[in-house]
Amino acid sequence: MLVSCDKTDSGCGGGLMNNAFEWIVQENNGAVYTEGSYPYASGEGISPPCTTSGHTVGATITGHVELPQDEAQIAAWLAVNGPVAVAVDASRDDLHGRRYDELRLRAAGSRRSSRRLQ
């Protein structure tokens, strides 16, 4: 859905979570479609056409906040509000060729990210 519809970002080329959340809230009335009704498409660098009707809404987002890089504050916020989306700077050389679940990721202070984990 976001690869096709969020025109602020770069489709298959990536983008920023804030832009994605803003598109969902402002342009799609907060609707996030299920994987079954709007399958993820990627691989050739060409985004499929955007369609915003006829899909099953799996979740609704009303807004987003940016959390500090403090594990205790993130844990406290998550316990009350959840869920949380995490950005990982996958351009770092030490991440190339590795699986994310093999790593212990630490906040490095970088605001530049190229992959998203949710």
86 and 109: one domain? yes
- Rounded CA separation 1/12 (Å): 11
pLDDT tens-digit series, residues 43-96: 666 777 899 899 999 999 998 888 888 889 989 999 998 888 887 776 777 666
Q: What is the extent of the structural domain holding 89?
A: 66-118
DSSP H helix total and E strand total for the chain: 3, 4
41 and 26: one domain? yes
pTM here is 0.68
Beta bridge partners of 87: 116
1 and 56: one domain? yes
Question: Peptide bond before 68: cis, by omega within 30 degrees of 0?
Answer: no
Domain count, the chain: 2
DSSP string, 69-80: S-HHHHHHHHHH
55 and 33: one domain? yes
83 and 44: one domain? no
Q: How many CB atoms lie within 10 A of CB 38?
A: 21
